[in-house]
Structure 1
């Protein structure tokens, strides 16, 4: 069951968050954030899901702009699978409530994360889908709007944990990130929780799909933005015939990959973006923020299991960067698991190898459950 949560403006102080009344329903076309209209929660505080004010990143490219940026919309803005106790209550017999936070790749939409949410939903784990539009990252504020929204999500995660504890259960969090965008969003969440060790202890595991490149490299950023702008899985990359047709095949091999040569438009865009990020990433304010977040991801991740799902054929995030980061995490004594899909493109491992991907997630969840409590 999916429920919707209202979009509220971000308060300066993280708690308490301001409640505003819903606007009366009007039978007219929506001119706010485009989103699926879902059933209203009859008991918004404790069930089926106690999130009250989350405002995630949903693409607004198809919507006319709001006349007042501070206006409050009653349109649903967060897609949640499951609820306060999950679908069937994963490990509910032990008094636990589990939730996974899916942090999408740049340019992803909530619908793109639906199949990933279902991986957890079938086990009784509630799932939150959180995505970042390209325009919010490339805005004149140089990503500060994104940073604020991630901070808002962090506040709501804290609220969720406290609400679960007040209901007599033990909250458990899993993060599942995609590409460097999701990875950095996770780092920003950890940054905001540095003084909340009680909440950090609730994090039982993190899955990194096609991510963990700690270098502040203009080429990596250009490749990621190019892929998002051109709606391609890898740019430039090799894309499987099965992937482009939307089919699933767990026996795909490199010999069946189809070359996807960059055209003039893509080559030009990559060149422009590389020059752009060569300047932006050296700006003191931007570089300082990124360096801080990457430092936390490198040295201050929670002592919980980590799973890296990547591919040697990824043309957006260099495989060498991911494998080097994995070695450093192991050297720090972290519990690290990894799987190289070899032939699948960037953030396309699940679509290319659904059975292997699902089994890796299932095995990792078992690892998270058996890991010592911090």
Structure 2
């Protein structure tokens, strides 16, 4: 993988399916951002929910080391990946279509954070029209455990066990120091994904799919995040699957999960048509 290339997949629906679902309106472009270490064959099962609904889908998972190691140390490698992803919309000339996100866990959410910042701060992207986001199993705040798991995967099995433990212990101590103990100071240099989005949330609707049984991200983190968004008048909906594990809701409840995602997308499209008409009327009356 070249430094400036990202390994993504884009799928266009056939015209018939698209027309059947979105009669005459531009079909949505759904951007799926995988969890850390997510294999494409897993992510493609989620994108087919939307392809069957006549949407364009773009799926991408940031490399493990980028997600945890670079982010833990505040090195913003993910922001360049975010820029590449947004540029794909222009490469395929779908930048005028409604855009919808489906984000998994902290790995996907960290990337989403930088996309949101680009759309907030960069004039050239201000015309992009995001209608909503599904957030699956996230976000969590201090994720030391996730960083350690990523490190184990990055080190690989060939290294001696003793050295592995030494490296992991050093890494854990450093991450805990930087991201937990010193976070009140280091956040001025580099806010974590959780605080960054919570402090300046985007205005489009969010739908949180999570489970109290999640062993990796505390459901309390997700619920607190949702409350903050609601206080900032962001439309928030959520569903607690109760028993399914981290990023395992679709596997355990496939029909229910797919239906919830599709219904939310349809409601976002309906709401957005209303605002689009209002925008046009505003322009005409000025």
TM-score (norm 1): 0.60
Alignment partner of 1:147 is 2:79: yes
Aligned to 2:27, the other structure's residue is in SS state strand
Aligned to 2:35, the other structure's residue is in SS state strand
RMSD of the TM alignment (CA)?
3.4
Evaluate the alpha carbon distance shift between residue 82 and residue 229 of structure 1 in structure 2; reply closer, same or farther with a 3 A threshold. Answer: farther
Q: For residue 278 of structure 1, what is the aligned residue in structure 2? A: 176
Aligned to 2:191, the other structure's residue is in SS state helix
Evaluate the alpha carbon distance shift between residue 369 and residue 178 of structure 1 in structure 2; reply closer, same or farther with a 3 A threshold. Answer: same
The answer to whether the 8 Å contact 1:203/1:302 transfers is no
Q: For residue 118 of structure 1, what is the aligned residue in structure 2? A: 48
Cα distance between partner residues in 1 of 2:173 and 2:243: 30
User: Structure 2: which 5+ runs fail to align?
Assistant: 154-164, 277-286
Cα distance between partner residues in 2 of 1:299 and 1:86: 42
1:133-178 deviation per Cα after TM superposition (whole angstroms, max 9, x unaligned): 2223425985433332222212333x258x346xxxx511110000
Q: For residue 100 of structure 2, what is the aligned residue in structure 1? A: 174
Alignment partner of 1:222 is 2:149: no
Higher RCO (CA < 8 A, seq sep 6+): 2
Aligned to 2:28, the other structure's residue is in SS state strand
Aligned to 1:105, the other structure's residue is in SS state coil
Alignment partner of 1:365 is 2:265: yes
1:248-305 deviation per Cα after TM superposition (whole angstroms, max 9, x unaligned): xxxxxxxxxxxxxxxxxxx999866542311342489974464275455224333222
1:69-94 deviation per Cα after TM superposition (whole angstroms, max 9, x unaligned): xxxxxxxx322222596953475533
The answer to whether the 8 Å contact 1:177/1:208 transfers is yes
TM-score (norm 2): 0.76
Q: 1:319: how far off?
A: 0.7
The answer to whether the 8 Å contact 1:200/1:302 transfers is no
Query: Between Structure 1 and Structure 2, whose CA radius of gyration is higher?
Result: 1
Cα distance between partner residues in 1 of 2:214 and 2:192: 26
The answer to whether the 8 Å contact 2:119/2:125 transfers is no
Alignment partner of 1:185 is 2:83: no
Alignment partner of 1:204 is 2:134: no
Evaluate the alpha carbon distance shift between residue 268 and residue 298 of structure 1 in structure 2; reply closer, same or farther with a 3 A threshold. Answer: same
What is the aligned length? 259
